[in-house]
Amino acid sequence: MRILVLGGTVFLSRAVAEAALAHGHDVVCAARGVSGTVPEGATLVRWDRAEAVPAELTDTEFDAVVDVSRIPSHVRGAVAAFPDAHWTFVSTVNVYADTATVGGTPATLPLLDPVETDEDPSAGPELYGAMKVACENIVRTGTAAALVIRPGLIVGPGDPSGRFTYWPARFAQAAQDGLPVLVPEPVDDPVQLVDVRDLAEWIVTAAEQGTTGDFDAVCPPLPRAELLAQVAEGTGADPELVAVAPEVLAEHEVAQWSGPRSIPFWAGDLVDGGFMTHDVTSSLAAGLTIRPIDQTARDTLVWLQATPDAKVTGLTRAEEQEVLAAVRP
């Protein structure tokens, strides 16, 4: 197959290109080429998607296209150029208007109203989700075969967000200094994520098989305590975990989800109860495989140790210990 990856230089799109090459496909990556390099064996065609599609691409027939864009106009231009290919559009679980229903699926959860704008969606997840809905619609209506995949938090080696990365890094620190690790209550809140390599592999095999439809791309829900236990297993650490109530963390100005002085990947009251409880039975049946979290944690730590400038968001070790000293009897 000849596969066009729109991107191919960073994290997921690069992992897709790597997986496609491993499967023996002819891979072309269309990107500006300013965020990184394409994998060895892939062909880079430079394309700023605000501009016209280069003739080098339109003169080529592609069997499959993979797009991770969040800009509707960019998606529209690419769809118009390659309408006959099998399209995989990587969307997001942020497209859902209902985040309260536990066990929701793409067949049962309503979507946000689409928004077609080229504005920066960093203003919030709702605008980001609404823009992705618009992109989904463009792909479905404009291509011969459309697969829409909606991941939640994508993790693993190369993660530019630093959210999940915080935990293998913190457990590795604890293994060295012997100090405890702060975790938020309740420790059994459900969480969902997906390893970037599992997602990329599914995207490639689904393109090979001509899979169509809408699917969520996360692991089955698991308690945060189990996630942390698997991180401990993967990093060879066994730290004391100290659970602290959300209201106490708020008193000490500890934020949720990401950013400075936060506990990453803790959503707490930022989301409703259905946000990390999606039923992914149909996705697993369609070919998504989920590796054990301990493997993801181990490989993420190896990548971190080899990449000193990799982003790790959240509380510093010193800030964490200051909070624990203040809240423990």
Residue 133 to residue 135: CA distance in whole angstroms: 5
Nearest one of 158, 159, 116 to 137, comparing CA atoms: 116
Residue 127 to residue 137: CA distance in whole angstroms: 16
Question: Would you give the DSSP letter of residue 122?
Answer: G
The CATH class of 2-154+194-217 is alpha beta
The partner residues of 242 in beta bridges, in order of sequence, read: 182
| pTM, 2 dp | 0.96
Instruction: Detail the DSSP E strand segments found in 35-152.
Output: 43-46, 64-67, 86-90, 145-151
Residues recorded for the chain: 329
Beta-strand pair 190-191/222-223? antiparallel
Nearest one of 166, 153, 154 to 196, comparing CA atoms: 154
The CATH class of 159-191+222-324 is alpha beta
Helix, strand, or coil (residue 261): coil
**Residue-wise pLDDT tens digits, 113-123:** 999 887 766 65
pLDDT at 115: 94
Residue 229 to residue 234: CA distance in whole angstroms: 9
pLDDT at 128: 92
Please provide residue 30's backbone torsions phi and psi, each rounded to the nearest 5 degrees.
-105, 115
**Residue-wise pLDDT tens digits, 13-44:** 999 999 999 999 999 999 998 888 999 999 99
CATH 3.40.50.720-classified regions of the chain: 2-154+194-217
Residue 82 to residue 59: CA distance in whole angstroms: 10
If you write DSSP's letter for every residue of 64-110 in order, what string do you get? EEEE----HHHHHHHHHHSTTSEEEEE--GGGBS--S-TT--TTTSP
156 in Cβ contact with 300 (< 8 Å): yes
188 in Cβ contact with 225 (< 8 Å): yes
User: Would you tell me the crossing angle of helices 224-235 and 293-306 to the nearest 10 degrees?
Assistant: 50
Question: Would you give the DSSP letter of residue 286?
Answer: T
CATH 3.90.25-classified regions of the chain: 159-191+222-324
Residue 129 to residue 111: CA distance in whole angstroms: 9
Please provide residue 34's backbone torsions phi and psi, each rounded to the nearest 5 degrees.
-105, -10
**Residue-wise pLDDT tens digits, 284-328:** 999 999 999 999 999 999 999 999 899 999 999 999 999 999 998
* Residue 213 binned pLDDT confidence (cut-offs 50, 70, 90): very high
Residue 128 to residue 289: CA distance in whole angstroms: 27
**Residue-wise pLDDT tens digits, 118-147:** 776 665 778 999 999 999 999 999 999 999
Sequence-distant (≥ 6) Cβ neighbours of residue 325 within 8 angstroms = none
